């Protein structure tokens, strides 16, 4: 393996180790020595690719800012069912991908102090709002709800389920999101509206 290839492998290993540390411990309780120890390398090896913890966290966030845009959602379903699918599949991705898990934790930790809405939240929020607006235009929502209130509620659902997850790897997050949706959907949807979330978000046994 050539020098450049080895450098790329080390770079990916550093990101993987950093993701595990950030996901489990958060930004403030992670340092570059933790990352190096997890890789069984020297701290200098990490500094060879990243000059600071801030730069390492930024690299994780930059790679994953587009994650919300890339989530597949079946188009031939009512908007509310697609919203259900989007949130459930995002939760599945967070469980399956430690990089995304770390990015979500880093994003939530900095959201209050950041001058701009972090990219991951902005992209996900845009998709949630767009689907909520489609549901409102399509007459899918109960009279007590409009697109804005639904978008805020669904965002709170995702964030709350993530923060309340008992384990650092967020195991069970997708199931928790589905359970909340099961309780929420009868209240959100207009009586008689066609919503079939089971077609949009497969159960764990079918995945």
Q: What is the pLDDT of residue 204?
A: 44
What b/e sequence results for 8-29 when a residue is b if at least 16 CB atoms lie within 10 Å of its CB, and e otherwise?
eebeebbbbbbbbbbbbeebee
What would the mean pLDDT of 175-182 be, rounded to a whole number?
A: 94
The string of pLDDT tens digits covering residues 56-110 is 998 888 776 656 566 777 778 899 999 999 999 989 989 999 998 998 898 888 7
Task: Examine the pLDDT at 52 and tell me if it is beyond 60.
Answer: yes
Which alpha helices (H) appear in 138-168, and where do they start and end?
A: 147-164
Structure tokens at 82: 């697609």
H-type helices in 2-143, by residue range?
A: 3-25, 32-39, 43-47, 53-64, 67-70, 79-96, 98-110, 119-137
Domains of the chain with bracketed CATH = 3-62 (1.10.10.60), 67-201 (1.10.357)
Q: Please provide the average confidence, as pLDDT, over all residues in the chain.
A: 84
Could you tell me the two tokens for 114?
């950041």
Instruction: Extract the tokens encoding 144.
Output: 């007590």
* pLDDT for the residue numbered 196: 57
- HSE, side-chain direction, 13 A CA sphere, residue 13: 15
Q: For residues 134 and 80, what is the distance between their CA atoms, to the nearest angstrom?
A: 8
Q: What is the pLDDT of residue 143?
A: 94
The tokens for 93 are 């991705």
Q: Is the pLDDT of residue 201 over 80?
A: no
CA distance 29 to 71: 30
Measured at the CA of 31, the angle between CA 44 and CA 23, to 5 degrees, comes to 125
Q: What is the pLDDT of residues 18-27, one digit of tens each?
A: 999 999 999 9
pLDDT at 123: 77
pLDDT of residue 200 exceeding 70, the answer is: no
CA-to-CA distance for 71 and 76, rounded, in angstroms? 15
pLDDT at residue 180 in the model? 94
pTM across the whole model: 0.81
CA distance 37 to 39: 5
């Amino acid at each position: 393996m050539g020098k450049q290839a080895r450098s790329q492998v080390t770079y990916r290993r550093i990101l993987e180790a950093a993701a595990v540390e950030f996901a489990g411990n958060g930004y403030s309780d992670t340092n570059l020595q933790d990352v190096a120890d997890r890789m069984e390398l020297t701290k200098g090896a990490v500094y060879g690719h990243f000059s600071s913890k801030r730069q390492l966290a930024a690299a994780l966030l930059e790679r994953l800012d587009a994650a919300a845009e890339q989530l597949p959602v079946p188009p031939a379903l009512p908007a509310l069912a697609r919203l259900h699918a989007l949130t459930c599949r995002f939760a599945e991705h967070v469980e399956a991908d430690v990089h995304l898990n770390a990015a979500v934790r880093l994003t939530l930790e900095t959201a209050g102090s950041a001058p701009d809405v972090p990219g991951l939240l902005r992209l996900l929020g845009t998709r949630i709002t767009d689907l909520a607006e489609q549901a409102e235009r399509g007459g899918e929502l109960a009279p007590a709800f409009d697109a804005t209130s639904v978008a805020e509620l669904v965002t709170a659902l995702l964030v709350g389920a993530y923060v309340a997850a008992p384990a650092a790897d967020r195991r069970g997050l997708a199931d928790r999101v589905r359970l909340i949706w099961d309780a929420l959907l009868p209240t959100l949807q207009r009586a008689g509206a066609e919503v079939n979330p089971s077609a949009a978000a497969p159960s764990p046994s079918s995945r």
